[in-house]
Amino acid sequence: MQLTNRSKNVVNKEMTFWERIYLPAIFKGMWTTLKHFFRKKNTLNYPEEKREFAPVYRGWHVLKRDQQGRENCTACGLCAVACPAEAITMEAAERKKGEENLYREEKYAAVYEINMLRCIFCGLCEEACPKEAIFLTDRLIPADYVRQNFIFGKDMLVEGVEPEKRVDVTVRQKHITEKKTAVGV
Ligand code: SF4
Ligand code: SF4
């Protein structure tokens, strides 16, 4: 049975003179190479050069803090339930006296991990979060040779307290809101 019409019948015909000297084939190949010198390059010299991403690109998550530097996450688990890849795990803990400046609410995530090898960057965790605690950002996940290093804990997810260590998610959120408004969601 013939699946496609791309098959070719091979015949053992004699090579012509031009085929035997190979020169036309060599020049044809060189002409193809030469043409590519003058074409626009499709590649970038990463990491020196970076490709511009879509404003709503979904990359490395951030766990946000509030204005006073307290962690927003209350370990409610809704992001983990919403995650179709089962990439999020967490352990909740109760805030102790004197920790009011660290955690916004009485319950917080003592452990919060995302397995970046399982994550499909769908953004459902961000949508499920009632506390505006988790957002996806335009940051790329760094490459690594060790699987264990792709399990990002709080040290890799929670933004810093200092203003220069905060991760700005407002631009991306503005674009998402505009898109949703445009399609009437
Ligand atoms: S982006 Fe999607 S797959 Fe990744 S952690 Fe969030 S919900 Fe799970
Ligand atoms: S990130 Fe949001 S949804 Fe996930 S546990 Fe924390 S508060 Fe709940």
Tens-place pLDDT, residues 64-114: 999 999 999 999 999 999 999 999 999 999 999 999 999 999 999 999 999
Question: Which secondary structure element, helix H or strand E, spans residue 113, and what is its range?
Answer: strand 107-115
Of 53-62, 122-131, 155-164, 173-182, minimum mean pLDDT range = 173-182
Q: Return the ligand number nearest the Cα of 133.
A: 2
Residue 99 CB coordination number (10 Å): 13
Task: Give percent of the chain with pLDDT exceeding 90.
Answer: 74
Nearest CA to ligand 2 atom 7: 73
Domain membership of residue 112 as a residue range: 59-183
DSSP H helices in the chain? 17-21, 23-37, 78-82, 124-128, 154-157, 170-183
In a domain, 51, yes or no: no
Does ligand 2 lie within 6 Å of residue 74's CB atom? yes
Ligand 1 atom nearest to 82, measured from its CA: 7
By CB neighbour count within 10 A (0-12 exposed, 13-18 middle, 19+ buried), where does 155 fall? Answer: exposed
Q: Which two tokens stand for residue 175?
A: 């674009």
Does ligand 2 lie within 6 Å of residue 129's CB atom? yes
In a domain, 66, yes or no: yes
Q: Count the domains in the chain.
A: 1
* 36 CA to centre of ligand 2 in angstroms: 50
Residue 172 CB coordination number (10 Å): 21
In a domain, 82, yes or no: yes
Contact between 96 and 138 (Cβ < 8 Å)? no
Q: Which two tokens stand for residue 128?
A: 């499920």
In a domain, 125, yes or no: yes
* CATH for 150: 3.30.70.3270
Contact between 82 and 128 (Cβ < 8 Å)? yes
